[in-house]
């Protein structure tokens, strides 16, 4: 990674951790903050994630592990509530770089997307349906709402991304760092058990 790209990644990492922005917007804001041309070559998400891990280690090592644990517990609660839709945790909460400002992203693989909405209505959840960029950059419906984390004593954004069951094929292929890109209920329980011991 060249020096300029590293500087953008470092600045973006600070924005991600301190403001809870996603990687894309954080990289664009970093370019602006650094006074660079808008068409500057941006670092990849892997570089930003590495910078986020470094930033957390330097500035948040005393608070982030407990915040991550609380977010994973909240994610598991929603995954268990939505278990019939094959939920998988992804993003920063799954990969371990989340802080109290991070949202929770749960990918669900359903036979019928409307039944997921009905389940949220049954849970009395006031959600907003939106369309976001999902797997392979394709548009996907997301059901977004806020949920109280008792441990953090604040509301956290939860996004249930609703995929067709057919989209599950290939969804567990290792990412560019050879990690599983998402985890099911059992995998999240295992993470919680390992970090609680």
Scan for tokens 């644990």, then name that residue: 69
Structural domains counted in the chain: 2
| Same-domain pairing of 40 and 108 | no
Q: Are 87 and 79 in contact (CB under 8 A)?
A: yes
| Same-domain pairing of 33 and 68 | no
Considering the entire predicted model, what is its pTM? 0.91
Mean pLDDT in residue range 53-74? 96
- What's the pLDDT score for residue 195? 80
| Same-domain pairing of 113 and 33 | no
- What's the pLDDT score for residue 1? 59
- What's the pLDDT score for residue 171? 66
Supply the range of the domain harboring residue 175. 64-196
27: Cβ contacts below 8 Å, ≥ 6 apart = 8, 9, 12, 42, 43, 48
CB-neighbour burial class of residue 52 (10 A; exposed 0-12, middle 13-18, buried 19+): buried
| Same-domain pairing of 33 and 84 | no
| Same-domain pairing of 116 and 131 | yes
Of 59, 88, 103, the residue at which a domain comes to its end is 59
Q: Which residues pair with 158 in a beta bridge?
A: 104, 145
**Residue in 156, 139, 83 with CA at minimum distance from that of residue 116:** 83
| Same-domain pairing of 55 and 149 | no
132: CATH: 3.30.460
């Amino acid at each position: 990674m060249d020096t300029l790209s590293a500087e953008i990644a470092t600045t973006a990492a600070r924005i991600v951790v301190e403001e809870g922005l996603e990687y894309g917007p954080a990289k664009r804001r970093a370019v602006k903050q650094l006074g660079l041309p808008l068409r500057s070559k941006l670092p990849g998400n892997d570089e930003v994630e590495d910078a986020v891990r470094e930033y957390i280690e330097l500035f948040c090592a005393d608070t982030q592990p407990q915040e991550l644990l609380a977010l994973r517990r909240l994610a598991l609660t929603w995954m268990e509530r939505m278990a019939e839709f094959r939920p998988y945790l992804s993003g920063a909460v799954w990969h371990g770089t989340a802080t109290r400002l991070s949202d929770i992203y749960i990918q669900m693989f359903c036979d019928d997307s409307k039944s997921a909405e009905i389940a949220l209505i049954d849970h009395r959840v006031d959600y907003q349906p939106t369309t976001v960029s999902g797997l392979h950059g394709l548009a996907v419906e997301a059901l977004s709402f806020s949920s109280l984390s008792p441990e953090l004593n604040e509301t956290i954004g939860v996004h249930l991304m609703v995929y067709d069951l057919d989209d599950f094929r290939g969804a567990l292929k290792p990412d560019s760092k050879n990690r599983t890109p998402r985890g099911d209920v059992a995998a999240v329980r295992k993470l919680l058990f390992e970090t609680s011991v």
